Amino acid sequence: MKVLQLCLRYPFPPRDGGTMAMVSLAQGLVANGVDLTIFALNTSKHFVSQEVAREASKGFRISQQYIDNRIKTGAAVWNLLGKDPFHVSRFFSQDVADALSQLLDKDSFDAIVFESVFMTPYLNLVSSKSRGFLVLRSHNIEYLIWERVCKETANPFRKWYLQVQTRRLKSYELKISRKFSLVAAITPIDAATYATFLPTAQVTVVPFGISPVNAPAGLPWQHEGLVIGFLGSMDWMPNEDAVRWFIDEVWPLVLAAGVGVRAIMAGRGMPQDLLGLHLENLSVEGAVTNARDFWARVHLGVVPLRSGSGVRIKVLECMSLGIPVLSTAIGCEGIEAAPNEEILIADDAPSFAKTIINYAMKKAQLQRIGQAATAFIARAHAPEAAAAKLLQDILKSHPST
């Protein structure tokens, strides 16, 4: 089968949840014998140089097109005069459309996978140029993320603008999803949501694929004092909200208990005011060179998310390394791990802090939870099996592919 994978940013090297999801599917498809071509936007926000791109994507057939998708105030305000959601429209470029058109003129594909709703501005072009089976791979239900962000936004003008854009995004997302032959959600929760507004469409679940790996060298189980850590891309608003909530609401409660816990908050795009914080036993860092080296310093990963949709790949990555995770229910939404056995869950600040405090002297129990988490990853999230599930669903829906 020949498949074209349309990626909203250059996926190599995989540096965050979105790129990890795209690379995981690409690797799984190739492992299943698919003749894969990747077409990727190389965005201004997540730009990858030609040298890095060539080295990181060896073994894959991939073409790229630069797009300036920076969020500019003038463009954001001007967008109010139209009807399209700014979240999506900033991913369209005529140069990208021309490059994609040339690719489709040169080659034909049995299936085209759109990685997220942000690639759907090119749907009409693809439909006019190809008879391939159209798949929307939904990383998140995007409007749900922004509905939750709106609830947590205090600034009145910002709240109003986000509400306008969220209404537009919801309308667009519901409408565009109906134009695909298959919607592949990453979680059962998202699939159930799609099924409510796409009653006649084919909706399936294709989980994020990740393989368990050996625990990082030097994992500090024997060190004195519990070390907890958060790692995430801070240019994603739900992550910034999560870190600020943790620092403002959870951390003072942990400190007051006097159990000697240390915390490390890190991520690309960390706001300057957070980098400048000087709090007892808490350090705030920027981008890390290697995620596994970061987790080698940590006993317990924390995911204090209060908004979002889809699967939190940072949770799965942490679990794959044998690091136990404490998350809010939203933070681990769609991950079917057993609470208190394979993952820890707490939703409000007192409960989140209490869980950290309780496990400060129970590192052996945490280690057992981490081991159970690794077994869960091996059982439920193998990359080859996830990609095979997508191929089976395509063939079931379109036997002539």
Nearest in space to 359 (alpha carbons), one of 332, 329, 328, 325: 325
Cα–Cα distance, 49 to 46 (Å, whole number): 10
* Measured distance between the N- and C-terminal CA atoms of the chain, rounded to whole angstroms: 7
pLDDT higher than 60, residue 398: yes
- pLDDT tens digits, 164-217: 888 999 999 989 999 999 999 988 888 888 888 877 678 998 888 888 876 554
Q: Domain 227-380: which topology?
A: Rossmann fold (3.40.50)
What are the tokens at 245?
A: 């909530």
- The set of residues, in sequence order, having a beta carbon less than 8 Å from that of 145 and lying 6+ positions away, is 238, 307, 308, 309
Please report where in the chains the tokens 């191929």 appear, as a residue. Answer: 391
Rounded mean pLDDT, 330-344: 91
Partners of 36 in the beta sheet?
3
pLDDT at 313 (0 to 100): 80
Partners of 135 in the beta sheet?
113, 182
Partners of 228 in the beta sheet?
263, 300
pLDDT higher than 80, residue 225: yes
Percent of the chain at pLDDT > 90 equals 57
Q: Mean pLDDT: which of 78-92, 110-124, 190-204, 301-315 is highest?
A: 110-124
Q: Which residues belong to CATH 3.40.50.2000 in the chain?
A: 2-209+382-397, 227-380
Average per-residue pLDDT for the chain: 89
* Superfamily of chain region 2-209+382-397: Glycogen Phosphorylase B; (3.40.50.2000)
> Residue 385's pLDDT band (boundaries 50, 70, 90)?
confident
* Max Cα-Cα span within the chain: 66
Pairing type for strands 262-266 and 282-285 reads parallel
Cα–Cα distance, 185 to 168 (Å, whole number): 21
pLDDT higher than 80, residue 27: yes
What are the tokens at 71?
A: 């969020």
- The set of residues, in sequence order, having a beta carbon less than 8 Å from that of 264 and lying 6+ positions away, is 227, 228, 229, 230, 282, 283, 285, 294, 297, 298
- pLDDT tens digits, 55-103: 989 889 999 999 998 877 777 777 777 788 888 988 999 999 999 999 9
- pLDDT tens digits, 355-375: 999 999 888 899 899 999 999
Q: At what angle do helices 156-177 and 142-152 cross, to 10 degrees?
A: 170
143-176 burial code (b ≥16 CB/10 A, e <16)? bbbbbbbbeebeeeeeeebbeebbebbbebbeeb
pTM for the model = 0.73
pLDDT at 309 (0 to 100): 56
Cα–Cα distance, 272 to 286 (Å, whole number): 9
Cα–Cα distance, 87 to 138 (Å, whole number): 15
pLDDT higher than 50, residue 233: yes
Nearest in space to 174 (alpha carbons), one of 88, 96, 92: 88
Q: How far is CA 146 from CA 143, 305, 348, in A?
A: 5, 13, 20
pLDDT at 368 (0 to 100): 93
> Residue 218's pLDDT band (boundaries 50, 70, 90)?
very low
Cβ atoms of residues 134 and 112 within 8 Å: yes
Cβ atoms of residues 219 and 256 within 8 Å: no
Cα–Cα distance, 273 to 277 (Å, whole number): 7
Cβ atoms of residues 44 and 69 within 8 Å: yes
Rounded mean pLDDT, 336-360: 95
Percent of the chain at pLDDT > 70 equals 95
Cα–Cα distance, 69 to 90 (Å, whole number): 5
